[in-house]
Amino acid sequence: MAYLNQRLLKLPNNIGVMIIAVVVSIALTLTSKSFPEIFKGTRALIDSVDFSNVVIGAILNFLLFAGTIRIRIADLKQQQLPVLLFSTLSVIISTFIIGALVYLLTQVLQLNISFLQCLLFGSLISPTDPVSVLSVLKDAGLSKSLETKIAGESLFNDGVALVIFFSILHAIHNPEESIRMNDILTVFAREALGGLALGMLLGFIAIKALKSINDHNIEVMITLAVVMGGYSLARYIHLSGPLTTVAAGIFIGNYGKQYAMSDVSKDYLDKFWELIEEILNVILFVLIGFELLVIKHNEHYWLIGIVTVLIVLVARFISLWLPSFIINLKEKMNHQVVLFLTWGGLRGGISIALALTLSRGLHKDLFLFATYCVVLFSVVVQGLSIEKIINYYKKRKDTNQELVNELIDDGAA
């Protein structure tokens, strides 16, 4: 599929392979009566994949590490307020807006879905997906400040979203218990802050090991051990695995490369993780494309899916626009930048993985189909148009130069 994309579609690899997988899924569905064995066999194969464990337990951690070893701590420090607010407050605001609007939509369609269940959907669709975001931003030519805002938010908002998601899920399964903010903050502190602390500790140990040898093969294996062992350890002691990987990646990518590795080792490390990133990205987006085969839907679902795409975009804008007033107290943030951040917040495999964990009693088929519609629109339409928007601003002669510099890489501009 990657080969066909390069030869025929010539789209960014992740988007191209997902489109091909979706087309193959549709073709298999349409020809299922003529070739039932092929359709059933492919569907059974895709259905046998534990998507949630594959994405959250395996692929995500490798891709997070591959992305974060390129992130500079100095850039994150400059954008620490926007990244902090967008990865926490924005996720909470978005969860409640999406939950409320989807609840109103289901009431209009006379579907018996509770507000808490709609809120649960809001929590799983609110976080932007670091895999989708990082893969699209890589060649977009954005300014460093804007790229750091979008990438930083997507790397850190998973921990917040997961705490909200599982807190609401617990409330649904235990209606007699009241949701106490104290408990939510305790879980967040343990999982998110504990995960970050564990990641920094593993990164520190890895740097000590890297500094004591000079063998690029072993040094690459050490980074592999950090990702695989770090996630397993985080899961065992109930900390956030993704945030553990993010912290370790940033630590090794900044201090490990600078103080503990030779130029040859750095070159091998970058090329190895770039290849891992390419392979796993293709696998992930092909799997997303083929998930269409196992998603059940009825006539209401298409309407809900299309309207949900609009709801998610509106909620995304409001959830960024409100915190931007706080950011403006410290630094200027143009409203057109908020619009661009809205469009650049892509959803991906994490949202689908969380939707797949739902039980049938929580309207899994409906929420999974709506999630799939949002992810498909997000990756294909938003992902493909980001570069076109950037090129549009580059070519405009009458654009405010300050806005151009804020959006576009200085060299590209």
- The crossing angle, in degrees rounded to 10, of helices 216-236 and 60-68 is 130
Choice between 15 and 336, residue whose per-residue pLDDT is larger: 15
- Using CA of residue 137, residue 401, residue 340, residue 254, what is the dihedral sign? positive
Q: What is the pLDDT of residue 189?
A: 81
- Cβ atoms of 380 and 15 within 8 Å: the answer is yes
Sole residue written with tokens 């990641």:
199
Residue 320 pLDDT exceeds 80: yes
Give the pLDDT band of residue 399 (cuts 50, 70, 90): low
Q: Is 63 buried (19+), middle (13-18) or exposed (0-12) by CB count in 10 A?
A: buried
At 216 the pLDDT is 93
Which pLDDT score is estimated for 412?
A: 45
pLDDT of residue 361: 85
Interval 351-375 mean pLDDT: 90
Output phi, psi for 142, to 5 deg. -75, 160
**Helix, strand, coil percentages for the chain (3-state, nearest 5):** 80, 0, 20
Cα dihedral value 230, 235, 241, 244, nearest 10: -50
Residue 403 has pLDDT above 70, yes or no: no
Percent of the chain with pLDDT over 70: 94
Q: How far apart are CA 102 and CA 84, in angstroms?
A: 27
> Residue 382 class from Cβ within 10 Å (0-12 exposed, 13-18 middle, 19+ buried)?
buried
* Max CA pair span of the chain: 66
- How far apart CA 378 and CA 127 sit, in angstroms, is 12
- Per the CB < 8 A criterion, the answer to whether 62 and 241 are in contact is no
pLDDT of residue 233: 96
pLDDT of residue 160: 81
Q: What amino acid is encoded at 303 in this protein?
A: L
| Distance (Å, whole) CA 191 – CA 234 | 9
Kindly report which listed range (32-41, 128-137, 192-201, 224-233) carries the lowest average pLDDT score.
128-137
Q: How many residues does the chain have?
A: 413
**What is the pLDDT at residue 187?**
78
Sign of CA dihedral 279, 282, 285, 289: negative
> 355 is written with which tokens?
């939707």
pLDDT score for 348: 87
What local confidence, expressed as pLDDT, does residue 359 receive? Answer: 85
In tens, the pLDDT along 170-196 reads: 889 888 777 677 777 787 788 888 999
Let me know how many helices (H) and strands (E) the chain has, helices first.
23, 0
Listed by start position, the domains of the chain span: 2-407
Strand partners, 352: none
Half-sphere exposure of 254 (CA within 13 A, CB side): 17
Nearest to 137 by CA among 333, 343, 317, 292: 343
Binning pLDDT at 50, 70 and 90, where does residue 298 land?
Answer: confident
Cα 209 from Cα 256, distance rounded (Å): 10
Three-state secondary structure string covering 343-380: HHCCCCHHHHHHHHCCCHHHCHHHHHHHHHHHHHHHHH
**pLDDT tens per residue, range 123-144:** 999 999 887 787 777 766 677 7
Kindly report which listed range (117-121, 122-126, 141-145, 212-216) carries the lowest average pLDDT score: 141-145
Q: Into which CATH architecture does domain 2-407 fall? A: Up-down Bundle (1.20)
pLDDT digits 0-9 by tens, 231-258: 999 999 989 888 899 999 999 999 999 9
Compute the chain's Rg from CA coordinates.
21
Reduced to 3 states (helix: H, G, I; strand: E, B; else coil), residue 143 is: coil
Output the average pLDDT for the chain.
Answer: 88
Question: What pTM, to 2 d.p., does this model score?
Answer: 0.87
Mean pLDDT of 280-306: 88
Provide the CA 170 distance to its chain's centre, in angstroms.
Answer: 23
Token duo for residue 368: 């999974």
